Amino acid sequence: MSPFNREIEAVDEDDAREKMLSLIGSEHRCKRNKIMVENIVEIPLDEVEDPLIRARIEGV
């Protein structure tokens, strides 16, 4: 198992989990039942590192 962090734009926790499972599954050809999402945390705008996500949130 390889721990990692990933920023995802989502409306709620269920949406974030669904997007994460979809992305990991498609990028790594991994079945959903093999992916373990340990936690989902909302981060403040000033801590967002992904420039594309930051731009969409700020509406630029």
Q: What is the pLDDT of residue 32?
A: 93
SS (H, E, C) 11-41: CCHHHHHHHHHHHHHHHHCCCHHHCCCCCCC
pLDDT of residue 3: 82
pLDDT value at residue 60 = 67
User: Residue for token digits 């962090």?
Assistant: 5
Q: Are 6 and 20 in contact (CB under 8 A)?
A: yes
The string of pLDDT tens digits covering residues 2-57 is 888 899 999 999 999 999 999 999 999 999 999 999 999 999 999 999 999 999 98
Question: How far is Cα 41 from Cα 24, in angstroms, rounded to an integer?
Answer: 18
